Amino acid sequence: MPGLKTLAVVVAVKGGARWEPEDRSGWSHLLEHLVFKGAGDMAAREIVERIEAEGGTINAATGYERTSFEVRGLDGSLPLAMQVLSDLVFRPTLDPAEIEREKDVVAQEIAEAFDTPDDHVFEMVQTRAFRGQPLGRPILGSVASLKPADRAAVEAWRARLYSPDRMVVAASGAVDEAELLALAERGFGDAKAMPADAPETAAFVGGHARLNRKIEQANLVFQLPALGATDPQLPALRLFAEILGGGMASRLFQSAREERGLAYAIDAYQEPYADAGVLGIYAGAAADRAKELAQVSAAEVRALAEAGPTTAELSRAKAVMKAGLWMSDENPMSRAGRNAAQTLIFGRPLSGEAMTEQLEAQTVEDVRAVGARLLAGGKAASAVLGPRAAGGAGEAFEAALFG
């Protein structure tokens, strides 16, 4: 990206919580923590000190289908970034004492997520939507599933998970391509592949979860089965979600908040996985109005699915999404992360121009057609966390939508 004084490097792996058997739930996330406790010739403090000494930052994240490590730094810091990242994924120390200590840290993270209603409610709905499957288990795992992890088992898991045949190195910003390729060969070229079977096929099961808690507001999530990451109708689904609840001009915001005062915060989102996906609605509402909010939300989904958007709504959604795309394209870390993810999914990165063309090609009928697919499943998942009076909102959403 000419003219920039900074760069971003991402190492992304096609692997995460979906690859875990039930008795190893949370191991991918635990491993992501552990590699920062020492790698190569660096102790934990040295990893961050070396990066920050050159003005950089370092971070990592574990999801269901990807684990990623990222460094943002100044022009000239590419050799350090590549060396540190290759040490993290291929040469972590995995000290037994640190493993036990980090289990306690993750246990605190699990407790923190449980204590945070607008976090835990998403975990609850995920468990219902994909019940009995890896996609339905928490990425953090549980205290019980993490307990057996020892050095030998974690190292074996690392070798399987961080396999170079499922790994992408992406860099953006002040980067020289020849230098990047040479550094990649030096830091990653000798890694041995450990092929792994694809995770089991995901199936949206549906169902309703409820947790009564003495807090002021009910936290609500409603989900419908949607599309996987490679589905050709995915651009239309993204527009559907934007029109439904993507901003202050969206149908849900105007109907639920502005016209009825049912919620302070309400939005819609879509989450694609490799072979499945969800369309979701999140809202925070007064408990005694949760069922009404659920019914209004269902009515807006059905109206958009059956009649499609207006031309003005479709035009607005395209403009908003294109703006977000190009703003992301101007950020080195966003661009590197997106390119890495797309290469893992499609085998190559997609240009901003190509994605813009996909969006522009969508018609009112395309959005209506994808809405019909959402309703065709005939099932929903929900989670309600808050005062007892909010109970039954999930069932009310499903009944209003499907009768």
Contact predicate 86/9, CB 8 Å: no
- In sequence order, which residues have a C-beta less than 8 Å from that of residue 225 and are 6 or more positions away? 129, 204, 206, 276, 277, 278, 374, 377, 379
Which one-letter DSSP state was computed for residue 25?
Answer: T
| 32 belongs to the catalytic site | yes
Q: How far apart are CA 316 and CA 112, in angstroms?
A: 38
Q: If residue 76 lies in a helix (H) or strand (E), which one and from where to where?
A: none
Contact 394, 383 (CB under 8 A): yes
Question: Which pair of tokens denotes residue 146?
Answer: 């993490």
Helix axes 332-346, 311-329, angle to 10 degrees: 110
Residues 185, 66: Cα–Cα separation, whole Å: 22
- CB within 8 Å of 346: residues ≥ 6 apart: 230
- Pairwise CA distance, residues 248 & 252, whole Å: 9
Residue 34 CA from chain centroid, whole number = 21
Q: Which of 20, 32, 242, 300 is catalytic?
A: 32
User: Mind giving me the DSSP string for 351-388?
Assistant: PHHHHHHHHHT--HHHHHHHHHHHHHT---EEEEEE-G
CB 57 within 8 A of CB 28: no
Strand partners, 74: 6
- The three-point CA angle 391-241-226 to 5° equals 75
Spatial contact of 52 and 80, defined as CB atoms under 8 Å apart = no
Would you call 256 helix, strand, or coil by DSSP? helix
Q: Which residues are catalytic?
A: 32
